[in-house]
Amino acid sequence: MGEFKHKHSLGQNFLKDKKVLIKIIDSVDVKEDDLIIEVGPGQGALTKYLKLFHANLLCYEIDTRVEKYLNSFIDDKTKIIYKDFLSVDLENELKDIKYNDLYIIANLPYYITTPILEKIINTKLDVKAMVLMVQNEVALRLAAKPGSKDYGAISVYLNYYYDVERLFVVDRTSFDPIPKVDSAVIRLKKKEKRSLVKNEKFFFEFVRTAFTMKRKNLRNNLKKYNLEKIEEILHKYNLSLQDRAENVSLECFIDIVNNLSK
């Protein structure tokens, strides 16, 4: 890696373990006419393996200092774009690319994991699957099931669109420089069939409110809504207002918001 001065502020921990890289690409089935978006190619450790799919590849990197490492990847199907992924108008950038399915595969810059996920959800792009390296602690939250202490608003949001699995843990020594935390690779597969919420904006707001104070029960957090109606629905799921949001399943949340919204 020579003279390169890694920027901690940009989450620059480059993956150096080939076995991990192979496990990442083995976890998705990308075809030549598909499109992969990679966030933060860095010096191209993962890009090199993504190229093996011969699919269309679009990489967004904020740090132009890595240009010399990435130039050799560019061809008819591979573009490297030097922009802050969070400021990119994705729908607009993709409109001229012909592709079948869309995948997002990345070793994420951890300092913006949640904003990246929120952006992907909010752009309403039809993403078939994502395979993402994230901080292990975050992976536990994203893939958490009701009843676990890691279950929170983000677990519910993601689970609305995707089946989320924590595939494997990656030791910190697999990176250069070695970060202070362990990592994990998660896979999010688009749900082919999902229960629909009538008003997504309200759904997001309601779930966020239910989790406002994690230690408080639903009665405390949901004061501003029709508690009687909520209680009625909770009973169907063997829950009550005395329970905490961490015990409420996605189905139950959807049932409640669909009954509360017009």
Q: How many beta carbons lie within 10 A of that of residue 196, not counting itself?
A: 10
DSSP-derived letter for residue 36 is E
Question: Per rule CB under 6 A, is residue 45 in the interface with ligand SAM?
Answer: yes
Question: Which range touches ligand SAM (CB under 6 A), out of 104-112, 186-194, 195-203, 237-245?
Answer: 104-112
Closest separation in Å from C-beta 175 to ligand SAM:
7
- Which of 20, 36, 57, 62 is in the footprint of ligand SAM by CB under 6 A? 62
Question: Per rule CB under 6 A, is residue 157 in the interface with ligand SAM?
Answer: no
Question: Per rule CB under 6 A, is residue 49 in the interface with ligand SAM?
Answer: no
CA dihedral 107, 108, 109, 115 (to 10 degrees): 180
- Which of 30, 41, 102, 230 is in the footprint of ligand SAM by CB under 6 A? 41
Cβ atoms of 158 and 164 closer than 8 Å: yes
DSSP-derived letter for residue 168 is E
Both tokens assigned to 61: 């990197």
Cα→Cα distances 221→94, 228, 256, 259, Å:
40, 14, 15, 18
Question: Per rule CB under 6 A, is residue 40 in the interface with ligand SAM?
Answer: yes
Question: Per rule CB under 6 A, is residue 130 in the interface with ligand SAM?
Answer: no
How far apart CA 225 and CA 222 sit, in angstroms, is 6
- Bridge partners of 78? 57, 75
Count of residues of this chain found to bind ligand SAM when the rule CB under 6 A is applied: 22
Question: Which range touches ligand SAM (CB under 6 A), out of 80-88, 144-152, 153-161, 221-229?
Answer: 80-88
Nearer to ligand SAM, 66 or 102 (CB): 66
Question: Per rule CB under 6 A, is residue 183 in the interface with ligand SAM?
Answer: no
Chain position carrying tokens 């070793």? 107
Given the rule CB under 6 A, which residues bind ligand SAM? Answer: 10-15, 39-42, 45-46, 60-63, 84-86, 107, 109, 112
